[in-house]
Structure 1
Amino acid sequence: MTIQATLFSFVNRWECDENDHLNVQFYFSRFEEADRQFRLISGLNETLVGARRVRHVRFHKELRTGDLITVQSSIAFDGPHMLTVVHEMREGSSGDLAATALDGYEPNANSAKTLRQRFKEFQSAMIAEASPKGIQTSPNGARSTLAGLLNKGAKICYRGTVLPRDIGVDGKADDQYALSCCTDGVAHVWQRTPMTRAYLVKNGYGRVAVEMKLAWVTPLKTGDAVVVATGFTAVTPRTFSMRHHLFESRTSRLVATLDVVALTMDLKTRVAVGMPEEAHQSINKMLID
């Protein structure tokens, strides 16, 4: 055995966003379920490898209403982490690669040989399409404070509460919840640039993420109030990057960070378009890194 079939799913209309494609929070929920199945099949657990440090996702092809979803998972010891679980999401009818996720673990260096032997039946080579491109491999912003971020120019874009429906099987808020907070707030981040909602509507453009990296710092439980503070971290002629910082509101405890590479897409041609020069200049002046 090598790569394992870990998910068979489907894109529901209610999971699609204003761009008429699967919202990123549901890509993460599919990867989360695929990971649970892979852990069951392979015997991978935190006792052996520690907690997951990051989930690094790249989006390769849109998934739209009615598309079939399959995920295959394996362990790649040639990945960017000491132990990397690779999830390959494909459109089930065409086989086209839709998204990839890298789950990064850093077990004790002395255990590498033992882990290779233990999981030899679940290994495969790292695929190039999954390699990080616009975001560094290691977690970022883990020492950030809410006050410090606001002083640097980050802005609050979301406030909310963890509800029972947001809790995963481990009793903690799951990846989909963290993504939903950020995706609900991100329109307010774009609004800080010249690429406002009015600009996007006028030109027939949509907001699109092409790469994301989620890193949990501390858990959330039912009833916790949260706040998201977001700042820009990089800009190129075609893309810009931002980092969402999810805090527990009562104590300002950092819970998670989500790095994002974003761009604009023409909703008719479904291809990326460059940002106006004034947007490039505006974002460059607001960088927090």
Structure 2
Amino acid sequence: MFEAFRGSVAQWECDMMGHMNVRHYFAKCDQAIRFTALKLGITPQKSRDEGIELVITDQHVRFLQEQHAGSGLGIRMGVLDFSDKQIRLYQEIYNTLSGDIATTFITTAEPRRVADDELVAWPEMAQAFAAANQTEIPNYAQPRSLDLAPGTDTMTMQTIEELGLYESSAGAISGANCDVAGRIRPAFLIGHIADGVVNMTQKFKTRGFIDDPERRIGGAVLEYRLIYRYRPRAGSLFTVRTGLAEVMEKTNRFATWMMDLETGKPILSAASVGLSFDLDTRKVVAPPPEARAEMAAMMTPGLFI
């Protein structure tokens, strides 16, 4: 594998849980993708002159170890598959001080023309680079609770309303969060989902668990599957709708759809597995049976991404 990023965790990148917020893992991953694009022949100059970019379409992510302010981070990556239409990459964010793996990404990306979002041919050097940097997915990065099956193309705002999915966040796409082509960066799509987690927690909380005055209970995501359906431009309005898909002993599975309010088109769909943990001991907290039963009553049957 090759090195594609070096940096650290800033204090401002950490959230109320005391660790680096999920959006910043994706932001650092995005920087590594851009470094990889350079190696594939999609240079910054080529992007500016010809309007060609390496566009992420699908990701599977596992969060293995939380990172705190001051942690040094690196990203190494390799190529899993390469074809004339797409590349599948393996990336892992690791702590440069301890060597521990923090997060793993399985990322699918395509060479696209910004103007019309059409696929284009790879630069000449791409195939040779991909062949020289082949790797495999290690056991600790394999999908655990989420599969990588193709997503559905049938979700509409009407279906979302019929399913009764909860609006956890909504707003407008800021130009400050977009790339040079004016389209939102993936990290900020995740950021808008993360912005709604507090609202989602309030919606799906259970009596006597989250509100226990004797304990400071927080939450964290263990695993994500994301399908990027299209990248809206600055000024686009969105809504994020979430439903509870499954309640397990220590974890819960959610499904989330981000929709364009003007066009009704899906922007992003995501499946996630999360848990509760004690903010003081940093240990996982399993909800008692009565809390799980309460949450099970809030599940949305037939929820999908």
Tell me, yes or no, whether TM beats 0.5: yes
SS at match of 2:132: helix
Q: What are the superposed Cα offsets for residues 243-285 of structure 1, whole Å, 9 maximum, x if unpaired?
A: 1111111222211112111000111221212123233223323
Alignment pair present for 1:260 and 2:260: no
| Structure 2 residue 155 is matched with structure 1 residue 157 | no
- 2:76 — aligned with what? 72
| TM-aligned CA distance change 1:261 to 1:141, over 3 Å | farther
Change (3 A) 1:140 1:283: farther
Consecutive unaligned residues in structure 2, runs of 5 or more: 44-51, 112-125
User: Which has the higher mean CA deviation after the structures are superposed, 144-153 or 154-163?
Assistant: 144-153
C-alpha spacing 1:42/1:202, structure 2 compared with 1 (3 Å): farther
Deviation digits for residues 128-172 of structure 1, max 9, x if unmatched? 111111111134354211221222231111111011111024431
Segment drifting more, 269-278 vs 61-70: 269-278
> Is 1:125 paired with 2:167?
no
The yes-or-no answer on 1:84 pairing with 2:88 is: yes
Which secondary structure does the structure 2 equivalent of 1:221 belong to? Answer: coil
Matched, 1:207 2:219: yes
- 2:291 partner amino acid: A
Shift of 1:77: 3.8
Give the aligned residue type for 1:13: Q
Task: Give the length in aligned residue pairs.
Answer: 280
Equivalent in the alignment of 1:96: 100
Structure 1 unaligned residues grouped into runs of 5+ = 108-114
Match of 1:5 among 3, 6, 15: 3
Which amino acid counterpart does residue 97 of structure 2 have in structure 1? S
**Corresponding position of 2:250:** 238
Task: Provide, for residues 196-246 of structure 1, a one-character-per-residue CA deviation record: whole Å limited to 9, x for no partner.
Answer: 795266422111101112211122001101111111112211100111111
Alpha-carbon contact 2:175-2:182 (below 8 Å) kept: no
Q: Which amino acid aligns with 2:34?
A: R
Tell me, what secondary structure is at the counterpart of 1:53? strand
Kept in 1: contact 2:206–2:295 (CA 8 A): no
For 2:127 and 2:293, the matched residues in 1 are separated by 48
Aligned partner of 2:144: which letter? Answer: K
User: Matched residues in 2 for 1:7 and 1:39: separation?
Assistant: 13
Q: Is the 8 A contact 1:214 1:256 kept in 2?
A: yes
Q: CA deviation at 1:97?
A: 0.3
> Residue 27 of structure 2 aligns to a residue in which SS?
helix
What is the distance in 2 between the residues matched to 1:283 and 1:149? 20
**Contact residue 237 and residue 260 of structure 2 kept, 8 A:** yes
Any conservation in 2 of the 1:83–1:106 contact (CA below 8 Å)? yes
Q: In the alignment, what sits opposite 2:293?
A: 281
